Chain A
Amino acid sequence: MKCEELLAMLNEYVDGTVDPSVCEEFEKHMAGCNPCKVVVDNIRKTITLYKAGQPYELPVEFRQRLHDVLRKKWQEKHPAP
Chain B
Amino acid sequence: MCVPFSTETPDGQLVQIAKAGDLAAFEALTDRYEQRVYSLALRMLRQEQDAEDVMQQTFLSALEHLDGFRGESSFSTWLLRIAAHEALKIIRKRKGLVTVSLEETTEERGGYESVPHPEYIADWRQSPEQLVHKNEIQRLLDEALAKLDEKHRLVFLVRDVEGLSVKETAEVLDLSEANVKVRLLRARLQLREHLTQTLGDPATRLIRSHDHAP
Residues on A facing B (Cβ under 8 Å): 1-3, 7-8, 10-11, 14, 28-29, 32-35, 38-39, 41-43, 45-59, 62-63, 66-67, 69-71, 73-75, 77-78
Q: Contact at B23–A35, with CB atoms within 8 Å?
A: no
Judge whether A55 and B35 touch: CB under 8 Å.
yes
Given contacts A34-B206, A35-B212, A53-B132, 8 further A-B contacts (CB under 8 A): A10-B188, A35-B121, A35-B206, A42-B200, A45-B124, A56-B42, A58-B34, A73-B63
Question: B108 CB to closest chain A CB, in angstroms?
Answer: 14
CB atoms of A43 and B192 under 8 A apart: yes
B12 on the A face (CB < 8 A): no
Q: Size of chain B's interface in residues, with CB distance under 8 A? A: 59
Q: Is the CB of B118 within 8 A of A39?
A: yes
Instruction: Give every chain A residue within 8 A of B191 (Cβ-Cβ).
Output: 46, 50
Q: Which of B120-157 contact A (CB under 8 A)?
A: 121-124, 127-129, 131-132, 137-138, 141, 156
Which residues does B use to contact A, with CB under 8 Å?
Answer: 1, 21, 23, 26-27, 30, 34-35, 38-39, 42-43, 48, 51-52, 55-56, 59-60, 63-64, 112, 115, 117-118, 121-124, 127-129, 131-132, 137-138, 141, 156, 160-161, 163, 181, 184-185, 188-189, 191-192, 195-196, 200, 204, 206-209, 212-214
